[in-house]
A and B are shown apart, each in its own frame.
Chain A
């Protein structure tokens, strides 16, 4: 249970990265499968070479963002379809990750890691969960802040209406690259911390990771809403934790770890299909109407905007 919470909060950093591309930029970025492992491999190899684990984790951010940069350049300057650009980078990174680790895995037994240092203070228990929760919230707050800045607004507009934002003198190519770099940087950090948590980096640890990220984002936003950025990022973090708890639950009732990928896929499908079911939309409507913001918007929308209902629903 404790482990599920811990892992959920670490994976939440990755989920925030996926949220940035998938929801904000509207770009399904498959690079994460590769950049997660790159982050883990880089941090692990640096730690075994006696580099400070915090520094090693920071380097994992840089390596992740370079992966994002490559996908971004392929997509914007090379005019390659976004999905394909991500897949190309991901596949290429597989070989690079093997090179970084000089093998298929790097054990971290007996090394000082960010997790072992944290355990020095907190041990294993709810205190360590609290520390990781604070860390995840810090990442959330930084992202909330960024998305309210001039540059962050330009990034959100790029995902929302490209035609509009380029007519206001913003290079959408540049914003997409920035978004992909930040996103994969966060994924790299998450990979580094996961490796330090489990005590090794492994070439297969990123496989199917995009699904974990999507599951966290979609499940989180379906349960906790996404009316504002602040609410949406919180929902993503909670979604990552809920996802881990669901996995834990599945393991407890007797599924084995090999079933996990199927579990992830089923969970994402369920999260995508359930909102289309009528009974569910009634439930979520009731929740929406309780929000004061929705109430404030109500009179104006009914008055003269038949178009607004569809776009409003899309926005939610």
Chain B
């Protein structure tokens, strides 16, 4: 349903800083696939996500969604079908709008935004119901500005908003990396349950090998713009982070950063 077909992207071409972020990448996600993406810094993980989201446009190749070529569509056009949670907890919500206004914006994804009232009584009840799943007590603070929430709360809300209107594809860009372990745990748990409940097709970039193995039904490893390892559900269930480190070790020139090693 999501298909990335021989996609390449080079930054700063023909200069000394030339960097090949994606090299002829092929990837196909089936309906309901939950794929985790790992790789060292500069492996092209984020570029892959940004290419799917339409924030970055590839030099060559085709990105298609539900069999439709979306390569030429802009980010906001693709966003009708693609939900996203960013690494920065501040990035996924509008700080000066209240929780209910933020949810109302998420609720209208892919539909025209006209002059009907953004937050109605019926919607408010629906939003409160959805917020209960987060177990953060936000359902009682619908009128609070999102800027007053903590990073963990904002990221949990971002996740709820990104998945609220059932996007066809969910992109998670190291969305737990900026949180403390406790909050990261919470957001990971929420991610699993929402992806499972809604059967969302998901692509999740992570630095955390344990997380990459625990979550999802498929794992890919990237290095220097290529997918070098693609593990299905069964094999993935038996793998340990030691095995993954060994895979990293095989790579010439791969630098595993300290953060990854410590996890």
Question: Which residues of A come within 8 Å of B, CB atoms?
Answer: 146, 148-154, 156-157, 160-161, 163-172, 293, 296-297, 300-301, 303-308, 311-312, 314-315
Minimum CB distance partner of A311 in chain B: B147
Contact of A149 among B84, B94, B118, B149 (CB under 8 A): B118
Q: Are B143 and A169 in contact (CB under 8 A)?
A: no
Contact of A308 among B74, B76, B92, B147 (CB under 8 A): B147
Q: What would 8 A/B residue contacts be, using CB atoms closer than 8 Å?
A: A150-B118, A156-B97, A163-B86, A167-B53, A167-B79, A168-B105, A297-B145, A314-B95
Q: Are A169 and B79 in contact (CB under 8 A)?
A: yes
* Number of residue pairs A-B, CB distance < 8 angstroms: 128
B104-128 interface bits toward A, Cβ cutoff 8 Å, 1 = contact, 0 = none: 1110111001111111000000000
Interface residue? B29 (CB, 8 A): no
B11-45 interface bits toward A, Cβ cutoff 8 Å, 1 = contact, 0 = none: 00000000000000000000000000000000000
Interface residue? B60 (CB, 8 A): no
Minimum CB distance partner of B81 in chain A: A169
User: Given contacts A150-B108, A164-B92, A293-B143, is CB(A169)–CB(B148) below 8 Å?
Assistant: no
Interface residue? B239 (CB, 8 A): no
Q: Are B145 and A312 in contact (CB under 8 A)?
A: yes
Interface residue? B235 (CB, 8 A): no
B120 smallest CB distance to A (angstroms) = 10
Minimum CB distance partner of B95 in chain A: A311
- B residues less than 8 Å from A297 (CB atoms): 141, 144-145, 148
Q: Are B95 and A161 in contact (CB under 8 A)?
A: yes
- A residues less than 8 Å from B115 (CB atoms): 146, 149-151
17 new A-B contacts at CB < 8 Å, known A161-B94, A304-B152: A150-B108, A150-B113, A150-B114, A150-B118, A153-B97, A153-B101, A156-B101, A166-B76, A167-B162, A168-B79, A169-B77, A169-B80, A170-B113, A171-B76, A296-B144, A305-B151, A312-B145
Contact of B105 among A153, A163, A314 (CB under 8 A): A153
- B residues less than 8 Å from A165 (CB atoms): 94, 105
In the bound complex, how far is the Cα of B144 from the Cα of A300, in angstroms?
10
Q: Which 4 A-B pairs have the closest CB atoms?
A: A305-B150, A311-B147, A169-B79, A150-B113
- A residues less than 8 Å from B141 (CB atoms): 296-297, 300
Contact of A160 among B96, B106, B109, B153 (CB under 8 A): B96
User: Given contacts A169-B109, A296-B144, A308-B149, is CB(A161)–CB(B118) below 8 Å?
Assistant: no
Max chain B CB contacts within 10 Å: which of A169, A308, A315?
A169
Minimum CB distance partner of A312 in chain B: B148
Question: Which residues of B come within 8 Å of A, CB atoms?
Answer: 53, 74-77, 79-80, 83-84, 86, 90-97, 101-102, 104-106, 108-110, 113-119, 141, 143-145, 147-153, 161-162
- A residues less than 8 Å from B119 (CB atoms): 148
- A residues less than 8 Å from B77 (CB atoms): 169
Minimum CB distance partner of B147 in chain A: A311
In the bound complex, how far is the Cα of B89 from the Cα of A304, in angstroms?
14
Contact of A312 among B53, B83, B147, B152 (CB under 8 A): B147
In the bound complex, how far is the Cα of B150 from the Cα of A165, in angstroms?
20
B261 smallest CB distance to A (angstroms) = 28
Q: Are B93 and A151 in contact (CB under 8 A)?
A: no
Q: Are A307 and B97 in contact (CB under 8 A)?
A: no
User: Given contacts A163-B86, A168-B108, A312-B145, is CB(A150)–CB(B95) below 8 Å?
Assistant: no
Contact of B95 among A152, A300, A306, A315 (CB under 8 A): A315
In the bound complex, how far is the Cα of B75 from the Cα of A161, in angstroms?
15
Q: Are B97 and A160 in contact (CB under 8 A)?
A: yes
- B residues less than 8 Å from A296 (CB atoms): 141, 144
Contact of A315 among B86, B145, B152 (CB under 8 A): B145
In the bound complex, how far is the Cα of B83 from the Cα of A160, in angstroms?
19
- B residues less than 8 Å from A312 (CB atoms): 145, 147-148
- A residues less than 8 Å from B148 (CB atoms): 297, 300-301, 305, 308, 311-312, 315
Minimum CB distance partner of A157 in chain B: B94
- B residues less than 8 Å from A154 (CB atoms): 105, 108, 113
Minimum CB distance partner of B77 in chain A: A169
Q: Are B101 and A167 in contact (CB under 8 A)?
A: no
- B residues less than 8 Å from A308 (CB atoms): 147-150
- A residues less than 8 Å from B93 (CB atoms): 161, 164
Q: Are B151 and A149 in contact (CB under 8 A)?
A: no
In the bound complex, how far is the Cα of B103 from the Cα of A164, in angstroms?
12
B124 smallest CB distance to A (angstroms) = 13
In the bound complex, how far is the Cα of B74 from the Cα of A296, in angstroms?
41
Q: Are A156 and B145 in contact (CB under 8 A)?
A: no
Minimum CB distance partner of A154 in chain B: B113
In the bound complex, how far is the Cα of B151 from the Cα of A293, in angstroms?
21
Q: Are A166 and B79 in contact (CB under 8 A)?
A: yes
In the bound complex, how far is the Cα of B148 from the Cα of A303, in angstroms?
11
In the bound complex, how far is the Cα of B74 from the Cα of A170, in angstroms?
11
- B residues less than 8 Å from A166 (CB atoms): 75-76, 79
Q: Are A151 and B151 in contact (CB under 8 A)?
A: no
In the bound complex, how far is the Cα of B79 from the Cα of A212, in angstroms?
40
- B residues less than 8 Å from A152 (CB atoms): 118
In the bound complex, how far is the Cα of B74 from the Cα of A297, in angstroms?
38
B139 smallest CB distance to A (angstroms) = 13
Minimum CB distance partner of A298 in chain B: B148
In the bound complex, how far is the Cα of B119 from the Cα of A204, in angstroms?
44
Q: Are B94 and A160 in contact (CB under 8 A)?
A: yes
